[in-house]
Structures are given as C-alpha cells and as structure tokens.
Chain A
Amino acid sequence: MSSELLPHTLEPHPVTGMYNGKFGLWLFLASEVMLFGALFSAYILLRTHGDFPSHEETTLNYKIGALNTFLLITSSVTMVMAWASFKLNEPSKGKLYLWLTVFLSVAFLVIKIKFEYLHKIHHGITPDTSTFYAIYYCMTGLHGLHILGGVIVMLYFLLPGFGLWRKNPEQFTNRIECTGLYWHFVDLVWIFLFPVFYLL
C-alpha cells in the first residue's frame, strides 16, 4: 500500500484536527510520559525510602547542568524556527535552523559525556556507587539516547531525506513538525531532570 492513497496522510482529520503522523506521534509521546513517569516514580521512592545520599554529598556540577539546559532550550527554539521556515517556504533558512539544532544537541551530548559521565567514571563514580548515581545515570542516559535518536532523525532529513522537500514540501514540513514535537518533549523532560538532579 503506498501511503499516498491512505486517507489523512496529509490533510488533517476533521474531528481530531491532526494528520496521521502527528496523531501517532502524540500517542507515542503519551507513552513516553508513562516511561519517564515510572522512572520519576522510582526516583522519588529511592529518595524518600532510605540510604539516599543528601544533596550536599552528591557532586554534580550545576553550572554544567545549567549550560546544558540552555543549549537544549535554544535547540528547541531553533527547531520550531526550522519548522516555521519550511512552512513559510524558505527551505534554506529552514535547513540552517535544523543544522543549528543538530549542532546544539551534539554540543549537549559532548558536554554530557565528556565533562560529566567520563569525568565521574574517571573519579570512580559509577552507577553502583549509590542509588542516587544509579538513577542519575539511568534517567540522564535514557534521555541522552532520546537526544541521540533525535539527532539521527534530523540528520536524515537534512541529508538523504531532503529529497522529499522537492517532491512533496507539505509532507516534508509535516515530518519536521513531528520531529519538532518529539524534540520539544525531550527538552521538556530535561527541564524536569535538571532541577531534580542538579539543584535539589
């Protein structure tokens, strides 16, 4: 079945107001809410239940965290600008913004891995050090994987996938919109991870 023939691939459904891809992506995000919900729940449990190191005992550097928060927020803006540019039929601007997003997210990952994970591991702080680090590595690691996934998708649309823009700009823009929804969600998760791990 070629998907051009499927209803609502492009035009929004009259009741839901969404095209298929967007609805599907939102459903996926709903499941992500549950995924991270379970992890936040685990965090609260570990923290309130016993042997959890106090904030003073942990050694996360909030400055690095804040810098990374900044990078991600900025990448969210460049992402939404990329979508707006494609929507306004300005593909070169859109591409530029998308590249900027990729750049910012890679910067995020590099900082996270080089100056946080590797640095910590170098000092012998690994997931089994305490339940704090266990959940820290787990949640930020999973979040990092989400970032990585997003970067791969963006690179796909910038390089081999860009051909779709010439064939069907509307569909291409829709896909950028979906990528954006995902991206903002990943940003949103970080907005909570940052205070939870670095500030509290």
Chain B
Amino acid sequence: MSSDHTHNPGFIRKYVFSVDHKVIGVQYAVTSLIFLFFGFSLMMIMRWQLAYPGDAIPLIGGWLGQYLVDNNGVLLPEGYNALGAMHGTIMVFLGVVPLAVGGFGNYVMPLQIGAPDMAFPRLNMASYWVYVLGGIAMLASFFVPGGAANSGWTSYPPLSVIANVDNAHHFWNGQTIWLLGMVLLITSSLLGSVNFIVTIVHLRVKGLTMFRLPFFVWAQLVTSFLLLLAFPPLEAAGVLQLMDRAFDTSFFMPTGLVVSGVVRDEYAGGGSPLLWQHLFWFLAHPEVYVLILPALGIIGEIIANNTRRPLWGYKTLVYSVVFLGFMSFVVWAHHMFLTGMGTTMSNFFQTTTMIISIPSVVILTAMLLSLWNASIRFNVPMLFALSFLPMFAIGGLTGLPLGLSASDIQLHDTYYVIGHFHYVVAPGTIMALFAGIYFWFPKVTGRKMSTLLGHLHFWPTLLFMNVIFGPMLIIGLRGVSRRLWDQTEYVLGAEVQGWTVMSSWGAWMLGLSQLPFIINFFYSAVAGKKSVENPWKATTLEWAAPSPPPHGNFAEVPVVYRGPYEYSVPGAKEDFQPQHLSDAKLS
C-alpha cells in the first residue's frame, strides 16, 4: 500500500514477487506454457502404449520409475491411468486456464480498459503464487509412494476414495495430493476472478462504457463470473472427498460397498457417489466455457483487426457470451445421462444443452460473417484465428449427439467423447491461444515474431491436430472405450487399431511441429525485429501504450471516444480509428 518502496524495486520485487499485472501475466503465460508442454508429453508417452501395446517405451522407458513402467520399460496399466488423469488435470487446470485467463487476461485486459494495473495488485501476485504451489503439488505427486492420482481428471468415487489403498496409511499419496492441489488451484482462480471483475467494472477509463469494451474483455468478464460461482462447489466436494480419504467418512461411499469381493466396512456408508458427480460437473461444465470463452475473445480481436472491419454483430456477440455463461450453469447433468437419473431429468438437461448450443452457433456465425467479402490480411495470428473457426465448429457440432440422451447411450465414455472435446480445446482453444501469442507478442516484448517460422509452425500444427483427433471420432463411433490401456484386447478395438497408430504418429509429429514455435518464441524475444507501438494498426487501447508498456502502462490516462472496432470508416483518412483519439485528432 505504501508508495515509498515502489519507486526502485530490486530484482526480486520487479520480476519474481512483482505486483505489476504485466509481469504477473508473463509469469502466468510462461509457467502455463511449460505445463502445457509437460501435459502434452505425458500424452506422447501414453500414445506409445496405445499404438504399440506391450512394447517398451523407447528412449525414456527406463527412466520413468516403478510407478509408471515395469522392469522392461513397458507402461503399466496403473501408470497409464496416472498419466491420463494427470494429463487431463494439467492441461485444464495448469495449462489452458492459467494461460487464457492468468496470462492473456492479466496482461491484456487492464491495458484494453486503460487501467494502470489490476484493482488489487497484491492479490494478483497471491493468485499466481498459489497457482504455482498447486502446480508443484501436482508435480510432486508423481514421486510419492504409489505415484500420481490415477482416477481420471474427474476423480469419481468410490474408485477415487479407495485409490492407492496400499498407501492409505500414508497420508501423502497421489490421490490425496491431487485433492490438495485442486483446492490450491481453485483458491487461486477465486482470487483471480474477484480481481478481474472489480477491475473490469471499476477501472475502465473515461468514455469506455460497457458497450465500448473490446469483445475480449467481455469474454474475460463472463469467464470470471464462471470461475467465481462454479468453482466453490468443487472446492466443497474436494473437502468432502478429502475427508472420505483421510478420516474414512462416507460422503460418497454407499452402504454395503463391495470392491473386488472385499466388503469395505471401514466406511459407515450412507453416502452417494452421485453427489460427487453432481458437484463435480456443476463446476466442470462451466469450466469448459472457461476454456473456450477467452479463446473466442482472442479470435474476435484478431478477426476484427485483420478483416479491417468492425466485428459483425458486436452487441449480439456480447449478449450471446453473457447468455452462454449463464446457461453453462444449467446443463451440468448432461454428463450423467447414464447414471439412471430418470427421463424427466434427462429431458430437462438435454433441452438446456440444446438451448446452450444456440449462442455458440450465433457467435461462430457472427465471426464467419465478419469475414464475408472482407479483404483479409493473412498474417500468422490471422491464420491461427481462421483455423480456429472450422476446428471449433467440428468440436461443437460433434457435441450435439452427446447432448441428446438417446444417442449418448452409445457414445458415452468412448473415444468419440475424447475426439469431440479435444476438437474444442486442442485444435480449438490451443490454436486461439497461439494466435493470441503471435498477435500480442510485439506488445509484450517490443519485437515481432518471425513470419517464416510462424508458417512452419502453423501448417503442420493444423494438419497434425486433425491427424490426431479425427481418428478418435472414428474409433469412438466404432465403440472403443476411452481410458483403455490396450484396445487390441477387444475385437472391435483391434479392428480399428490402424487409426490409433495414425493418431499416435500425429501426436509425435505435433510435438516436433512445436520446435519452430519454441525457437521463434525465444529467438524473437531477444533478437526479433523491433516493433512499433501499434504494428497491426489496431484500434483498441492496449496499442496506445508503448511496447512494452512501462510500469503504470500509459504516460497519460487515455480517454475513449468510440467503440472498439472502428475500422474502414467511410470518409476517414486512415482505415482504423483508435479508441483513444478524438475526432479532432483524427481529421
């Protein structure tokens, strides 16, 4: 609070325990990119076992340790489960959300509203460090006796409560650490969401009314509300499951549970496994919108900028996003059609699910219409943004059969589900996040990324994303279950093994295709071509600040005169009219 020590902060205060939203944003972004790559690497290991069941993992098989592989370096079934559970957890909670919200939201949003910082800078720092603690907990769980959590990212009881029983006497086992890690990550998100909402509502500069906010800011606002209100029920459920594990309570343990022929009478019983599913999905459905809304926000910015036209139907987009956010709280049980919840409930939730698809389609359509007849600038961010649209469309459309309780009977828990949601989060969100990185890189570093390397990154990435996830839809339709260590044990799985091999090679090739990006990222940060303040000739406020923006962001507090996307205004001198320049200055 006191201003005396902010003038000349030392290295630690400036770059490690910084309260500047830009430093924190970069910290979030770099940390989460590392986690993304780590989570992806787990999957590259799993894909070996899937493609060549029972073969030793090449190169690294010997190093993976007794909880993951046997003496010959073959992935154990338990190890496969652990990698799968941790892949899901890490990708969602340590990778995409922190990058989309913690990274992009933190860095870009305050700039776009003309604020000098977030409303609560120290709380912001706390969010980041609590997130790091959660990440360390998750990583550490690989090394405790029994290895990491292996009950899926959904952690369904009773399986998850009795998981790691051999180590039950040992408090620090993987599943328990997973729960503790989740509590930390949830806390971090909560602190962050309070900060975001207050900042967006209170810290907008003069003239920046709600309906002049860039679409990205709206997306972040709705996302923050989802985090604020959907996460606490999972936190509560996490505490309950922790008690089930640590104190043998029976919140989720039914009476008379028998597992593998053994009566589990250490649990008094009387609980319900379904309660967990309800509380989990009460969070986790809104969570998928947390994964997608910031991506939509990024895409909106980039499309407007590179079509040199206003986004088509800005207000419609805003209303759709708000409606989407609200509806995402009323669809959760579409993940539970097969729990015997009865036709009345199924009907209710399939109806809400069909309703929620409407605003998603509206958003996508508005973005497509923005392209219509435009003279598009095909730079690297725009390529990624354009590829997002069909990928997200595939992801969304393949979701419809899952939202109908009848067709879900066949598709539930097959690779079709995996294919569907990965089209949303991997070729979808991840492409959007890449687009955002290429787009805002000059703002953050003052330098541009290489276009050649950008192309070398984009084309193979787009190709291999589809090589990976397309086959999953196919083998899923054939009935292959997800979370299988070896699908060739089943006739129907053996028949489609070819597709699985193809998918695996796609994954490894995707890994290789990230090399140009990694090189580009580091090389351009230190030696890229110097960029000007506003290299893309964009209209929103972040481009009014120097690149990179100094502490406090703007030399003088900007004033906003117009909406966010005034491109190609008829009769204007330039084809873009920045929000902060008055009419007088523009003419």
Task: Please choose the segment from B152-160, B189-197, B515-523, B571-579 that sits at the chain A interface, where 4 or more of its residues have CB less than 8 A away.
Answer: B189-197
**Does residue A8 face the partner (Cβ distance < 8 Å to B)?**
yes
Residues of B within 8 A of A42 (CB): 236, 240, 251, 275, 279
Closest to A142 in B: B239
CB proximity to A under 8 Å, residues B216-253:
228-233, 235-237, 239-240, 243, 247-251
Contact of A50 among B1, B20, B202, B255 (CB under 8 A): B255
Do residues A28 and B120 form an inter-chain contact, with CB atoms below 8 A? Answer: no
**Does residue A52 face the partner (Cβ distance < 8 Å to B)?**
yes
Contact of B250 among A27, A34, A134, A142 (CB under 8 A): A134
Residues of B within 8 A of A46 (CB): 251, 270-272
Do residues B270 and A51 form an inter-chain contact, with CB atoms below 8 A? Answer: yes
Do residues A1 and B551 form an inter-chain contact, with CB atoms below 8 A? Answer: yes
Do residues A6 and B116 form an inter-chain contact, with CB atoms below 8 A? Answer: yes
Residues of A within 8 Å of B, CB-based: how many?
47
Query: Looking at chain B, what size class is its interface with the partner chain?
Result: 35 or more
Residues of A within 8 A of B535 (CB): none
Residues of B within 8 A of A35 (CB): 232-233, 235-236
Residues of B within 8 A of A31 (CB): 190, 193-194, 228-229, 231-232
Contact of A1 among B6, B231, B243, B250 (CB under 8 A): B6
Residues of A within 8 A of B194 (CB): 24, 27-28, 31
Do residues A128 and B1 form an inter-chain contact, with CB atoms below 8 A? Answer: no
Closest to A32 in B: B232
**Does residue A7 face the partner (Cβ distance < 8 Å to B)?**
yes
A28 to B96, CA, bound (A): 24
Do residues B233 and A38 form an inter-chain contact, with CB atoms below 8 A? Answer: yes
Contact of B117 among A6, A51, A128 (CB under 8 A): A6
Residues of A within 8 A of B1 (CB): 2-4, 164, 171
Q: A51-B255, A128-B247, A138-B240 are in contact. Are A13 and B202 (CB under 8 A)?
A: yes
CB proximity to B under 8 Å, residues A16-61:
16, 20-21, 23-24, 27-28, 30-32, 34-39, 41-42, 45-46, 49-52
Residues of A within 8 A of B (CB): 1-8, 13, 15-16, 20-21, 23-24, 27-28, 30-32, 34-39, 41-42, 45-46, 49-52, 126-131, 134-135, 137-138, 142, 164, 171
Other A-B contacts than A35-B232, A42-B279, A135-B251, 9 sampled, CB-CB below 8 A, are A1-B551, A23-B202, A31-B190, A35-B236, A37-B232, A39-B236, A49-B270, A128-B266, A134-B249
28 interchain pairs, CB-CB under 8 A: A1-B116, A1-B117, A1-B121, A2-B3, A3-B1, A4-B3, A6-B119, A6-B203, A8-B119, A16-B201, A21-B120, A23-B197, A23-B198, A24-B119, A24-B195, A31-B229, A31-B231, A35-B235, A38-B236, A38-B279, A46-B270, A50-B270, A127-B248, A128-B266, A131-B251, A131-B271, A134-B247, A134-B249
Residues of B within 8 A of A (CB): 1-3, 6, 19-21, 115-117, 119-121, 123, 190, 193-195, 197-198, 201-203, 228-233, 235-237, 239-240, 243, 247-251, 255, 266-272, 275, 279, 282, 551-552
